[in-house]
Amino acid sequence: MKTTSTKKPEVLAPAGTLEKLKTAIHYGADAVYIGGNRYGLRSRAGNFTYEEMHEGVDFAKKHDAKVYVAANMVTHEGDEVGAGEFFRTLRDIGIHAVIVSDPALIEICAMEAPGLPIHLSTQASATNYETLNFWQQEGLERVVLAREVGMDELKQIRQHTSVEIEAFIHGAMCISYSGRCTLSNHMSDRDANRGGCSQSCRWKYDLFEMPQPGEHKTVLAGEPVEDFSMSAVDMSMIRHIPDLVENGVDSLKIEGRMKSIHYVSTVSNVYRQAIDAYCNDPDNYAFKQEWEDELWKVAQRELAAGFYYGMPTENEQLFGERRKIPAYAFIGQVLAYDEKTQIATIQQRNNFGVGDEVEFYGPNFTHVQQNIRQLWDENDTPIDRAPQAMMVVKMKVNAAVRPYDMMRKRK
C-alpha cells in the first residue's frame, strides 16, 4: 500500500463531566471536547464550571492531552452578551481551542480573546474545500467537516487545503442536515440550535385520523408499527481507519458528551488500538473483529458508516425490531488494587453480586473474565450483593487490575 499520509491522527473523545474527561484520557484519547455553562449545544450535559476546566486542563497537560470547549450554538439577539469575557477566561485557563459555528461568536473570540485557537463546528456545514480555505483565511486552525461529507469528497478537500480537518467517526447521527433542526422547537418548545434539543426524531410515532375534535384513531390498527420513523442508526468507522488516515484527517472525533464513562472508555480504547495498529505498521495492518465486538458492548443503536460511502438507505434508519442488542451492562469501576492480597476495591455502578460472571477491561485493551466468589463491603464485612448506587466494595480478582479499570457483566 502506498501511504499518502503517515501522520497519526488525534483521537478526540467527548467529556460531559470531569470524570469522563479523565476516563477518556486514561483510555487513549489525545484530546477531549467539553462544554461550558454557555454557548454550547448540550444544555443537559454535565457542563463544566471554570474551576472544573482548570482541573481538567491541568490533568490533560500531565498526560500530554488537550481540552477543547464547544461553543457552537446559533446565537440570537442578546446571546452574544458576555461572550468576550467567556472566551478570554477560557484562554487564560489554558483551553487549547474553542469549537464555534456562529460567525458572530467567531469574530468576538478572534477580537476579544486573541491567542485562543478557533475550530469551526460541524454545525456550520463545511462540505467543500473552498469553504475550508475561506475559514482558514479568517484565521481558523481547524474545520470539523459536516457529517454529510463522503470519503471521495474528503479526499478532494484534503488535496486542496492545508487547514486541519476533523471528522466524526463514531456516535449518533442527526436526521437533519448538520443538526439544523426545528422539530424540538415545535414539539417541546426547546431550541435545538441553542442547546435544548429534546431529540424529537427519536420518539415513537404513529399515524392517526381525527374524525371528531379530540378523537384519535390509529390508521395502523392491527398492523405492525415501525418505531422511530425519523431516527438514524449510529455511525461507526472502525472498519475504515485506513481510509481516514490515508486521506489526511487530522482529528478523529467520537460523538457523545451525554454518554456514560462505560461508553467513553470503551470507544476511546477501541479506536486507540485500531489507529495505533494502522499507523505503526500500515503494510501489515489487519482489521480485528474483536474491536467491533467491543463497540457493540456499549452501542445504543445499530451501526453503519453514515454518508462516507454513499447515501444512507432504509438500512441506515431504525425501523421495527432491533437487529442487534448490546449484551453487557456497566457495573463498577476499580478504585484500588492490592498486589499482595489480590483484592480490588471497586465503586459500584450497577447491581452485582456473588455468582455473577464479570469482565474487567482497561486501557491498552486488557480484558479479564471471572466469577465473583466472595464480596465484602468497605468495612470488610462479607456481603452477597452490592445493590446500593456508588457503594464501595472489595473482591478478589484473578489477575492484576488498576485504578480506572472498568467492570461489566452480561445483561
What is the separation, in whole angstroms, between the first and last Cα of the chain? Answer: 42
Give me the percent of the chain exceeding a pLDDT of 70.
91
Question: Could you read off the pLDDT of 161-170 as tens digits, one per residue?
Answer: 999 999 999 9
Task: Work out the pLDDT band at 322, boundaries 50, 70, 90.
Answer: low
* pLDDT score at 5: 44
- Within 8 A by CB and 6+ apart from 36, the residues are 47, 48, 50, 53, 69, 71, 86, 90
pTM for the model stands at: 0.90
User: Which residue in 402, 403, 397, 399 sits closest to 371, CA to CA?
Assistant: 397
Task: Work out the pLDDT band at 226, boundaries 50, 70, 90.
Answer: low
According to DSSP, the β-strands at 303-304 and 234-236 are parallel
237, pLDDT greater than 80 = yes
* pLDDT score at 1: 38
Domains and CATH numbers, the chain: 10-176+231-316 (3.20.20.70), 328-410 (2.40.30.10)
Please indicate whether residue 316 or residue 234 has the higher confidence score (pLDDT): 234
Which residue shows C-alpha cell 486542563?
Answer: 57
Please indicate whether residue 216 or residue 102 has the higher confidence score (pLDDT): 102
Buried b (16+ CB within 10 A) or exposed e, 256-266: bbebbbbbbbb
According to DSSP, the β-strands at 406-410 and 357-362 are antiparallel
User: Which residue in 195, 173, 154, 159 sits closest to 308, CA to CA?
Assistant: 154
* pLDDT score at 250: 98
321, pLDDT greater than 90 = no
193, pLDDT greater than 70 = no
Alpha carbon distances (Å) from 80 to 38, 103, 109: 10, 11, 11
Please indicate whether residue 315 or residue 365 has the higher confidence score (pLDDT): 365
334, pLDDT greater than 80 = yes
Q: Which of 223-232, 246-255, 329-338 has the lowest mean pLDDT?
A: 223-232
* pLDDT score at 56: 98
Question: Could you read off the pLDDT of 194-203 as tens digits, one per residue?
Answer: 667 777 777 7
3, pLDDT greater than 60 = no
Please indicate whether residue 221 or residue 373 has the higher confidence score (pLDDT): 373
Give me the percent of the chain exceeding a pLDDT of 90.
71
Query: For residues 350 and 227, what is the distance between their CA atoms, to the nearest angstrom?
Result: 28
143, pLDDT greater than 70 = yes
Mean residue pLDDT of the chain comes to: 90
Summarize the chain as % helix, strand, coil (round to 5).
Answer: 30, 25, 45
Question: Could you read off the pLDDT of 345-356 as tens digits, one per residue?
Answer: 999 999 999 999
Query: For residues 111 and 226, what is the distance between their CA atoms, to the nearest angstrom?
Result: 51
* pLDDT score at 65: 98
Using an 8 Å Cβ cutoff, are 118 and 83 in contact? no
* pLDDT score at 210: 81
Please indicate whether residue 315 or residue 13 has the higher confidence score (pLDDT): 13
Question: Could you read off the pLDDT of 20-61 as tens digits, one per residue?
Answer: 999 999 999 999 999 988 877 655 556 899 999 999 999 999
4, pLDDT greater than 50 = no
Question: Could you read off the pLDDT of 79-122 as tens digits, one per residue?
Answer: 889 999 999 999 999 999 999 999 999 999 999 999 999 999 99
